[in-house]
Amino acid sequence: MKAAEVLDDLRRRFPNEPEYLQAVEEVITTIEDTYNQYPEFERYNLIERLCIPDRIYSFRVSWVDDKGVVRNNMGYRIQHSNAIGPYKGGIRFHSSVNQSILKFLAFEQTFKNSLTTLAMGGAKGGSDFSPRGKSDMEVMRFCQAFMTELWRHIGADTDVPAGDIGVGGREVGYMYGMYKKMTHEFTGTFTGKGREFGGSLIRPEATGYGNVYFLLNMLATKGIDIKGKRVAISGSGNVATYTAQKLISLGAKVVSMSDSDGTVIIPDGLTEEQMKFIFELKNIYRGRISEFAEEYKLPYYAGQRPWKLVQADIALPSATQNELNGEEARALLANGCIAVSEGANMPSTPEAIKEFLAAKILYAPGKAANAGGVSVSGLEMAQNSQKLSWTAEEVDAKLKSIMAEIHNQCTIFGKEEDGYVNYVKGANVAGFMKVARAMMAQGIV
Ligand code: NDP
Ligand code: 2IT
């Protein structure tokens, strides 16, 4: 089948999976020309095999809450592709989680991991369980119940999960603890583990730092300095906070942060002290960004996203998928935005992406810009295999060079005739070609 026919076919077969179809459409439409240059790909029906996950596990997770009420959630693991390495990707706990969202994430992960230069296939998992408002013991019981099912499908050389939305160090610790109990083995089957039991230095920071490093690479192509630039960030979780921290250290002004309830605007730019407050609020007290706004008497907009509220030179969406639409993209551009680099996975809608590309601004899709997180996960796997741990400086230096190499690959495959770098095309084609060659070499399996 031709690439376009595969897309039509997937639309017919999976009509109830809009996020999955959105991610697949973006990739297929950008790699189509390259794909059609290789008749052997079509003969092997490579694109269809690459779009459909290798397998999907779905299961019921039953647990008991603090009041003694029995709760049932869904659990999933999508093993998308292990053509270039063991399945690898995060676990998301959020009430919105469903099969379509995890399929889009596992699909994206496959191309992202291919770009990292490391040997990792693509996967994603999660549950519609939300840690929000749950006690520590409830979170622990849920994580344990989730693992009593998932453990048999994962392993250090099979499938290595990590964190994502709603899954941070605490949840990884609880899941790893149960995994260890079920298997009687201490292996590197999770990344994002605590420092004391095999976690890598810089893994918590890696996605946010990596996004800023990618941004610096993009800005360097235009000779633009980050110092003094006004940066709008969405989210206030793992990715958003470490992005903000790195930007502050580079002299940029972080003018917004948000959560699922609303946005805070920081007209003069976030200070280090305020940053620390947000970090503790979110990680220790598990509070809301509105409490930060209240504490520092800053403007807060309930139910709103940052993009139309501030003048920003740079936008770094770092919360969730489809959180920046066409209208918001036009508002950002009208206010002089010169760069958008995605900390989250698929945060810009297709219409927003069209606007950014038409305006020819620096626009980096998540699978390139946020690949720093999974890259350091790959480095954690390498350290676990060697039973060694590297210094923060060593890991950070490797992260920087990986982000530079991803930027380089995007430039090679994404440069257009007028010199504009289409990072969407660059990332998709570069990510695709490596996986495609591996699949061709391994036959139809
Ligand atoms: P966290 O759970 O730490 O933080 C998520 C943030 O996004 C919170 O501020 C949360 O608000 C907000 N958010 C989540 N869902 C929604 C929603 N539906 N609408 C509005 N706001 C929402 O997750 P991460 O920081 O780890 O993940 C953020 C993004 O980055 C995700 O897209 C993830 O896939 C991606 N990513 C993460 C990596 C990692 O290493 N952690 C690596 C690469 C990408 P609230 O607290 O109100 O829920
Ligand atoms: O989306 C992502 O890349 C992640 N959530 C991190 C995955 C990982 O395995 O570190």
What totals of helices (H) and strands (E) does the chain contain, helices first?
17, 12
Which of the residues 88, 103, 112, 124 is marked catalytic? 124
Structure-token pair, residue 309: 């509220």
d(CA 281, CA 289): 8
Query: What pLDDT, on a 0 to 100 scale, did the predictor assign at position 425?
Result: 98
Q: Which secondary structure element, helix H or strand E, spans residue 263, and what is its range? A: strand 262-265
Beta carbons within 10 angstroms of residue 234's beta carbon: 25
What distance in angstroms lies between residue 282's CA and the mean position of ligand 1's atoms? 12
Query: What pLDDT, on a 0 to 100 scale, did the predictor assign at position 369?
Result: 98
Q: Determine the residue of 233, 239, 403 to mutate for testing ligand 1's pocket, defined as the one with the most ligand atoms within 8 A of the Cβ atom.
A: 239
pLDDT band for position 96 (50/70/90)? very high
Q: Is the CB of 165 under 6 A from ligand 1?
A: yes
pLDDT band for position 241 (50/70/90)? very high
Q: Is the CB of 115 under 6 A from ligand 2?
A: no
Nearest to 178 by CA among 192, 160, 190, 196: 190
Q: Furthest-apart CA pair in the chain: how many Å?
A: 65
Q: Determine the residue of 164, 171, 281, 323 to mutate for testing ligand 1's pocket, defined as the one with the most ligand atoms within 8 A of the Cβ atom.
A: 164
- Ligand 2 atom closest to the Cα of residue 88 is 9
Q: Is the CB of 164 under 6 A from ligand 2?
A: yes
Atom 20 of ligand 1: nearest residue by CA position? 260
Q: Is the CB of 373 under 6 A from ligand 1?
A: yes
Phi, psi (rounded to 5 degrees) for 408: -60, -45
Would you say 127 and 63 are in contact if contact means Cβ atoms under 8 Å apart?
no
Q: Is 124 part of the annotated catalytic residue set?
A: yes
Query: What pLDDT, on a 0 to 100 scale, did the predictor assign at position 4?
Result: 87
Nearest to 92 by CA among 365, 371, 320: 320
d(CA 364, CA 5): 27
Query: What pLDDT, on a 0 to 100 scale, did the predictor assign at position 440?
Result: 97
Would you say 75 and 51 are in contact if contact means Cβ atoms under 8 Å apart?
no
Q: Is the CB of 373 under 6 A from ligand 2?
A: yes
Atom 11 of ligand 1: nearest residue by CA position? 259
Q: Which residue type is seen at 42?
A: E
Interaxial angle between packed helices 18-36 and 99-115, expressed in degrees from 0 to 180 and rounded to the nearest 10: 40
> 159-179: per-residue pLDDT in tens?
999 999 999 999 999 999 999
Query: What pLDDT, on a 0 to 100 scale, did the predictor assign at position 76?
Result: 98
Query: What pLDDT, on a 0 to 100 scale, did the predictor assign at position 84?
Result: 98
Residue 283 reports pLDDT greater than 90: no
Q: Is the CB of 6 under 6 A from ligand 2?
A: no
Nearest to 347 by CA among 225, 247, 280, 258: 258
pLDDT band for position 249 (50/70/90)? very high
Determine what percent of the chain is predicted with pLDDT higher than 90: 98
Question: What are the b/e assignments for 260-286, b being 16+ CB within 10 Å?
Answer: bebbbbbeebbeeebbebbeebbbeee
